[in-house]
Amino acid sequence: MVSKKIELMVGLFAALGIAALLMLALKVADSGISGNSETYQLYAKFDNIGGLKVRSAIKVGGVVVGRVSHITIDAKDYTPVVTLDIYTQYINFSEATSVSILTAGLLGEQYVGLRPGFIDESVGTLVPGDFIEDTKPALVLEELIGQFLFSQGSD
């Protein structure tokens, strides 16, 4: 009788340990069991998205304000179109906002950086479904190294 009780307690302890590890893994991956708050979509066209991926962070000054939800190719001019899911609590970005693809560290993961533009009477705010016009493509490390080596070889 005592051994069955001990086996039951060990099994319960093991199940709690596995559940704790699962919750920790979800927290580290920032995916969570329940989804984040509601979002609205903005779009941006880039010449080069580098290694940007779906679910990459969208940051303003280091604060995550959304996630990349889709990356497609525009059928007209064959440029990448990135769909930005911005949390609804950040609704008042001006039309002068610029967006760029940045890298966390030298070889880190790429993310989308938003630089809010000025808010003026002549400049409106972005509404869901708008395209952000001012975009800066990703810097690809291999291209920079190639340009550096080529410029050194021509001297």
Beta bridge partners of 125: 94
Q: Are residues 75 and 138 in the same domain?
A: yes
Does some domain include residue 153? no
If asked whether residues 56 and 74 sit together in one domain, one would say: yes
Q: Assess if residue 154 is contained within a domain.
A: no
| 49 and 120 inside one domain | yes
- Alpha helix segments (H runs only) across the chain: 2-29, 141-153
Mean pLDDT of 107-114: 86
Q: Percent of the chain having pLDDT more than 70?
A: 89
In which domain, by residue range, is 126 found? Answer: 39-147
Residue 44 within any structural domain of the chain: yes
Q: With respect to residue 7, please indicate whether it lies within any of the assigned structural domains.
A: yes
Averaged confidence pLDDT in the chain: 84
> Phi and psi of 21, rounded to 5°?
-65, -40
Total of domains in the chain: 2
Same domain for 13 and 60? no
Residue 154: alpha-carbon gap to chain centroid: 39
Same domain, 52 and 98: yes
Say whether both 87 and 12 belong to one domain.
Answer: no
pLDDT in tens, 128-149: 888 988 888 887 767 777 888 8
**Domain membership flag for residue 46:** yes
Q: Are residues 3 and 52 in the same domain?
A: no
Judgement on whether residues 94 and 31 belong to the same structural domain of the protein: no
Rounded-to-integer distance, Cα 60 and Cα 53, Å: 18
Q: What value does the mean pLDDT take over residues 30-43? A: 70
Residues 5 and 44 in one domain: no
pLDDT digits (tens, 9 = 90+) for 54-91: 999 999 988 999 999 999 999 999 999 999 999 988 88
Tell me what percent of the chain is helix, strand and coil, each rounded to the nearest 5: 25, 30, 40
> Which residue has better confidence, 102 or 37?
102
- On whether residue 155 sits in a domain, the answer given is no
Based on the domain organization, do 28 and 72 belong to the same domain?
no
| Domain assignment of residue 152, yes or no | no
Same domain (yes/no): 3, 46: no
Inform me whether the pLDDT recorded for 41 exceeds 70.
Answer: yes
Q: What was the pLDDT predicted at 36?
A: 56
